[in-house]
Amino acid sequence: MFEKDIQFRKFQLYGFLKNLRFFEPFLILFLLSSGLSYLQIGVLYSIKSVATNILEIPTGIVADLYGRKKAMLFSMSSYIVSFFIFYFSYSFVLYIFAMILFAFGEAFRTGTHKAMIFDYLKLKNIENLKVQYYGSTRAASQLGSAINSLLAAAIVFLSGDYRKIFAFTIIPYVLNFINLATYPKELDKLEMKKSKKATLKDFITAVANVRVLRVILNTSSYSAVFKSLKDYLQPILETFALTLPIFVSLNDEKRSSIVIGVVYFVLYLLTSYASKNSWKINRKGSTIALNLTLLLGALSILFAGLTYMFKFYVISIVIFVVLYIIENLRRPISVSYISENVKSDALASVLSVESQTTTFLTAVFSVIAGYFADKYGIGQAITISGVILIGISLLVGIKEK
């Protein structure tokens, strides 16, 4: 095991506060209540993904060259402005602007903080514990999501208004800005002996590696479909909540908030446990773990859609929980695998490529899912996405070295 020092606790605190996104369990319901269609919601998700996609590589390189801590502080600031716009505006156009600012936050964050963690492991000479260490920090993130679900449900229940959750989300992000500002200077850049030209050369060499590209496609394909579909759990839970013969005296928002809060709380407790113990699956081999969970995830998405179509809501909800668990088993393994195949100076850039691929595919699947949800229904949209991912999983399997 590893020493759980002050910096480890700061890494955990970052993940915990980052995941206090009180709007997240209710985002689709908030947008639907604002008069948007599923296609418009898919377009918003797509815009966020495309904007993040465009920014991913340049922001990753900027973080590697000019300072990762500065990139993270800018990320938190961009998120906070985005939340202000969502809270005060009622316009689809302004929602687009808020999503673009949110994308700035995502682009400067994804890959960068992971690279800081792996640099810290190098400084402490415990690089062999990547999966355990990163899994433990990610577990704190998922615990934050679990607490987030209960707090978000309480906010909606007490206020009866989805909009208030954006105002409350600003608080943990301000606290995280302060937390990141206390990170040690040595994590800004591990070493500056290499020139900018050499760093860029390491980046190009890494992404030209066929094996690295294959694992990027393997990890990003599931994550993309998962991200484009995961919030569809919200209307499924709302439908289920309204069929229950309890709390009938409450309005729809309050009834839904109770069910959504409880389900998401249990869900994130399970994903926290999955992240913390993903290293045990990794002992069987990274390639086996990644290939198996990709196919299992694709099949689960297919059955989640089919069970919802036939109104087996409880089974569909349980399968969605499984999808979250699979994602959180895969992430520590995939990030560790990538870090083992690239040089540390280019790590933030390469992880940004992986995130960029994910966001590009998320943009595509968000529009596809939104279109089919409007045209045929949520269950059919999820089922079609599952069929597509099954086909992808058969093409991007990773071979042993």
List the domains of the chain with CATH numbers.
6-188+195-393 (1.20.1250.20)
Given a contact cutoff of 8 angstroms between Cβ atoms, the answer to whether 112 and 73 are in contact is no
**CA distances in angstroms from 291 to 204, 319, 338, 352, listed in the order given:** 26, 19, 15, 22
Average pLDDT taken over every residue of the chain: 86
Question: How much is the pLDDT for 216?
Answer: 81
Six-digit token string for 144: 């934050």
Which DSSP state fits 135? H
Q: How far apart are CA 290 and CA 222, in angstroms?
A: 10
The model's pLDDT over 105-153, given as tens digits with 9 standing for 90+, comes to 988 887 788 888 888 888 888 877 777 887 788 788 888 888 999 999 9
Residue 250 pLDDT class (50, 70, 90 cuts): confident
Q: Are 296 and 326 in contact (CB under 8 A)?
A: yes
Number of C-beta neighbours around residue 116 at 10 A: 28
Q: What is the CA radius of gyration of the chain?
A: 20
Strand (E) or helix (H) holding 26 = none
Q: Which of 118, 135, 142 is nearest to 272 (CA)?
A: 142
DSSP letter for 192, please.
Answer: -
* Single pTM value for the model: 0.79
CB-CB contact of 10 with 183 (8 Å): yes
Amino acid (one-letter) located at 263: V
* Residue bearing tokens 């918003």: 44
Q: Would you mind telling me the total number of residues written for the chain in this entry?
A: 401
Check residue 191 and give its pLDDT. 46
Alpha-carbon gap, residue 40 to 355, rounded angstroms: 23
For residue 370, pLDDT over 60 is answered with yes
Task: Flag whether pLDDT at 195 surpasses 60.
Answer: no
